[in-house]
Amino acid sequence: MFFSLRARYFMTLFLSAALLSGCSISHSVSSSSDSSRSISRSSTSSSGPEVSDETKKAYVKDVETYVAAIGRSDIGPEEFMRGIGSIAKRHAITDWESYDFTYTAIGKGLKKAGLSKDEIDTLPYLKPLVAGDAKRLGLIKKGY
């Protein structure tokens, strides 16, 4: 099959454009991949994404107050998690479970509520949050 001169011209133009854009696409994909790795690393960090000191202080105080008010109540785990989530949302914190200071604030609140360190392990509303995660439980006890 023979292509007309005009068809060959457009075919050459198309292939040239594809090759040239392929280089920039490759560079963009590489840059995008690097960004994704960076985001992935920060989101899996045990201390969570960076939060300003002012936000952190206000959030910690509110979590502490919330937990102190709950104390030994029979609040369910879902309601407890919703409460912490609501506080986090008010402070524009999107992944509160990834912040170590969430757990130390919970510990401070439990101490303010007058619970003993031994009672922490038995609180039904904390069980799903610390289940299988000794670090979280340790942070709560550290905050106590």
Residue keyed to tokens 């502490």: 64
CA–CA distance, 19 with 39 (Å, rounded to integer): 30
CB atoms within 10 A of CB 143: 22
pLDDT for the residue 48: 59
Q: Is the pLDDT of residue 5 over 60?
A: no
pLDDT tens for 55-70 read 999 999 999 999 999 9
Model-wide pTM > 0.85: no
**Distance of alpha carbon 75 from its chain centroid, rounded?**
24
**What are 39-97's pLDDT values in tens digits?**
333 333 345 568 899 999 999 999 999 999 999 999 999 999 999 999 999 999 989 99
Which tokens in the block code for residue 62? 């509110």
Residue 10 pLDDT class (50, 70, 90 cuts): very low
Residue 116 zone, left/alpha/beta (φ > 0; ψ -120 to 50; rest): beta
Return the ∠ at Cα 90 (arms to 120 and 115), rounded to 5°: 15
